[in-house]
Amino acid sequence: MTTPALLKRLQQLALNSQGLGSRRAFGQGQAGTLAAIEHLGYVQIDTLSVIERAHHHVLWNRVPGYEQQHLNQLSSSGQIFEYWFHAAAYLPVRDYRFALPRMLSFRRGESPYFKSVDQGLMTEILARVRGDGVLRTRDLKEKLQGLWWDHGPGKRALDKLFMQGDLMIRERNGMEKLYVLPEQLLPADINF
């Protein structure tokens, strides 16, 4: 049987392990944001917002001086990266190697989600990113058909290139993503 003191201690341990026992657990500002993501393993990117998107709440509650631009700064400097595991998330770049099996699975065509993507269009998009250095979804100049989830062939090709690791997201402006080549973001000494 647990005693109230033991229960309180276990509750505090759970809060501390998530960085909620003290707002100073990870440090402050951009360095604290990186430390929080590294400690937590990932921070899920939330597309829904009432007051603010949930990933900002997660970091604001753990890091004094957290600002939204810290995520773009950390992504652009190759310290964190965005990828989709069970959901879109920010992950520490030291864990990039753990995303490689999933990327290779998409590249081999093992995912049912990208079976009918135009390979020629994927080649064109990669060439454009190589030439321009960056690509936004709206740069595809195609109209999205119908509802927001009904993407055209260019968006599907872009999504597959991202999922198989041929493109990475350098930053977000709101929910708009800016895609670049992995070599523009990944540190030279990354552990594959």
For residue range 55-64, list pLDDT tens digits in order.
998 999 999 9
pLDDT, position 1: 56
Helix axes 100-107, 153-163, angle to 10 degrees: 140
Residue in this structure with the two tokens 């990208």, named with its chain if needed = 114
- The token pair at 17 is 């392990």
Q: Identify which of 7-16, 68-77, 146-155 has the greatest average pLDDT.
A: 68-77
SS3 content of the chain, % helix, strand, coil (to 5): 45, 15, 40
Whether the per-residue pLDDT at 13 is higher than 80: the answer is: yes
Query: In this structure, are residues 23 and 70 in contact, taking their beta carbons and an 8 Å threshold?
Result: no
SS3 at position 6: helix
Per-residue model confidence (pLDDT) at position 144:
46
The model carries a pTM of 0.87
Q: Looking at the chain, how many residues does it have?
A: 192
Spatial contact of 146 and 155, defined as CB atoms under 8 Å apart: no
Look over the chain and give the mean of its residue pLDDT values, rounded to a whole number.
88
| Residue 75 C-alpha from the chain's centroid | 9
- Tell me whether residue 163 is exposed, middle or buried, using C-beta atoms within 10 angstroms of its C-beta: 0 to 12, 13 to 18, 19 or more: buried
